[in-house]
Amino acid sequence: MEDVLIKQIWDDVLAILKETIVATTYETWIVPLVPHSLEDNCFCALTGQNLAVQILQKNQKDISSALSQVCGREVYFKVIYDENLKKQLEKERQKVKKEEEKEFIQNLEKRIASSRYDGLKQMQSDCKLNLKYKFDNFVVGANNKFAHAVAVAVAKDPGKQYNPLFIYGGSGLGKTHLLQAIGHEIMFSKSKLKVKYIKAEEFINDLVNSIAKGMDKVGDKNKKMNEFRNKYRNVDVLLVDDIQLIEGKARTEEEMFNTFESLHNAGKQIVFTSDRSPDKFENTPDRLKTRFQMGLLADIQVPDLETRMAILTKLANDNNVRMPVDVIEFLATVYNKNVRELEGAFNTISAYTSINEIPITVDVVKRVIGYNEKRKTLTVEGIIDIVAGFYNVSVEDIKSTNRAAKTAYARQVAIYLAKEMTGESFPYIGDCFNRKHTTIMYSHQKVKSDIAVDRHLAQDITELTAQVNA
């Protein structure tokens, strides 16, 4: 079959898969595939990522279905790893990276020249932003898709919608990354706007110091407080990290409330991050909590296994580190709580193996991270037991044919957690729940999709994950 026709078939298949496959899987593993041939009802695609062969096994049915739909007959899908394609992709990636860096520097120089800044260092210093936290290196998955989308919207049109934006989630999940990415996007695309990023702790310390200095000399009290207030109110965009730290500090909460009122009434953009939602702030005045809630709340959940593997793959590609499939899967399984731990492990491993000039293997990784083979082992049965207690249903009911809404809900959550946290196969998990593996696959996918739109479910998953890992 002609290459042009094969490409057209694949383009039509991609249009279908974009609507049916999880975004992380689609963008990371399917889009880079190169259509190769269609012979004997078997469509073959090449990949330069050896991890893709393993990852796409569970999507083979969906891809084959899309191919059959486009071709009008039953067609099976097969993906083959190609070493030459890998080398070609690496060359193209390096070329694109150099071009992007060149374009970035050129645009940056133009923006600096037309802005109030004299150079990049002054720009960074004034805004207190870290250049590594940008939208283009933020890995989007089901766990953070909504938060990422609204963050991009705020950066494109600050002060117009989603004001304030309140992003919350556990430690190390990417809240600071998104917060600073908003600042960078505004700083580079709307350089005349004044952006200020602070940690809540800095706000507290500034307030304490202003009060203390104001007490040193008679008449200085008002002067120091005015300087403090102007510092945070004479901005166009205020980005506050870890706002939960001001809870219970009455004077700080008062100043934050007044700062909020001043900026919001002037149409200035405000973005907060926190480790929990505003309704969980038990010692914060209602008038401040309602300000936090008056815009848009966006939560970030723990990334699923696929997203964690995608993050590691991107880190390896960006840093030219050769990390085998089994190592990526092992690390993504071990570090399942947050992205910060995952990145820290990657940096430690890549540095150690580079200095000692040794290849990265699972055995080496275990030694470097101090992995304990005898550590607490997660089991499907253990997860079922915890979920049953959480929802106040019996383990027997979860494993039975009981179709009561409460029991069915708990069962699906238990199935999702069992797959995500143990990595066991669908058939094995099916045996644990006394169900066919196809039913297990459906329940897992349903919960995975619902998490993105159901915040109550997402919160349950977060709390249960913490209990299982405790």
pLDDT of residue 305: 84
pLDDT exceeds cutoff 80 at 124: no
pLDDT exceeds cutoff 80 at 272: yes
> Rounded to whole angstroms, how far apart are CA atoms 304 and 423?
11
- Amino acid sitting at position 79: V
pLDDT exceeds cutoff 80 at 117: no
Q: Which of 115-119, 126-130, 438-442 has the weakest average pLDDT? A: 115-119
> What percent of the chain has a predicted confidence (pLDDT) above 90?
31
Q: Where along the chain do the CATH 3.40.50.300 domains lie?
A: 120-300
> What percent of the chain has a predicted confidence (pLDDT) above 70?
90
Q: Which helix (H) or strand (E) holds 250?
A: helix 250-265
Q: Where along the chain do the CATH 3.30.300.180 domains lie?
A: 3-81
pLDDT exceeds cutoff 50 at 384: yes
pLDDT exceeds cutoff 50 at 118: no
pLDDT of residue 23: 78
Q: Indicate the SS3 state at residue 272.
A: strand
Q: Give the full edge-to-edge strand order of the sheet including 42-47.
A: 34-39, 42-47, 76-81
Average pLDDT, the chain: 85
> Rounded to whole angstroms, how far apart are CA atoms 342 and 365?
13
pLDDT tens, position by position, 410-450 = 999 999 999 888 877 777 888 889 888 878 988 998 898 88
pLDDT band at 176 (very low <50, low <70, confident <90, very high): very high
Closest CA to 185 of 158, 204, 217: 158
In terms of C-beta density within 10 A (0-12 exposed, 13-18 middle, 19 or more buried), how is residue 75 classed? buried
> pTM, whole model, 2 decimals?
0.61
Provide mean pLDDT across the span 38-61. 85
Provide mean pLDDT across the span 80-86. 86
Tell me the fold of 120-300: Rossmann fold (3.40.50)
pLDDT exceeds cutoff 60 at 120: no
pLDDT exceeds cutoff 70 at 127: no
pLDDT of residue 182: 94
Alpha-carbon distance values, 22 to 26, 378, 419, 439 (Å): 6, 26, 16, 19
Contact by Cβ (8 Å): 238, 266: no
**Domain 305-369 top-level CATH class:** mainly alpha
- Amino acid sitting at position 418: A
pLDDT of residue 161: 85
Q: Where along the chain do the CATH 1.10.8.60 domains lie?
A: 305-369
HSE (CB half, 13 Å, CA atoms) of 211? 9
In terms of C-beta density within 10 A (0-12 exposed, 13-18 middle, 19 or more buried), how is residue 332 classed? buried
Higher-pLDDT residue of 89, 360: 360
Provide mean pLDDT across the span 29-46. 90
The tokens describing 430, both together, are 């099916």
Q: Where along the chain do the CATH 1.10.1750.10 domains lie?
A: 380-469
In the 8-state DSSP scheme, what is residue 29?
I
The CATH architecture annotation of domain 3-81 reads 2-Layer Sandwich (3.30)
Other Cβ atoms less than 10 A from the Cβ of 398: the count is 23
Closest CA to 214 of 202, 204, 226, 201: 226
Residue 288's DSSP bridge partners are none
The tokens describing 304, both together, are 């699923």
> Rounded to whole angstroms, how far apart are CA atoms 341 and 346?
9
The tokens describing 328, both together, are 């990526």
Provide mean pLDDT across the span 370-392. 80
pLDDT of residue 423: 72
pLDDT exceeds cutoff 60 at 7: yes
Cα Dmax for the chain: 91
Closest CA to 150 of 188, 178, 129: 178
Contact by Cβ (8 Å): 83, 30: no
**Domain 380-469 top-level CATH class:** mainly alpha
pLDDT of residue 374: 47
Give the residue carrying structure tokens 């969906």: 62
pLDDT band at 111 (very low <50, low <70, confident <90, very high): low
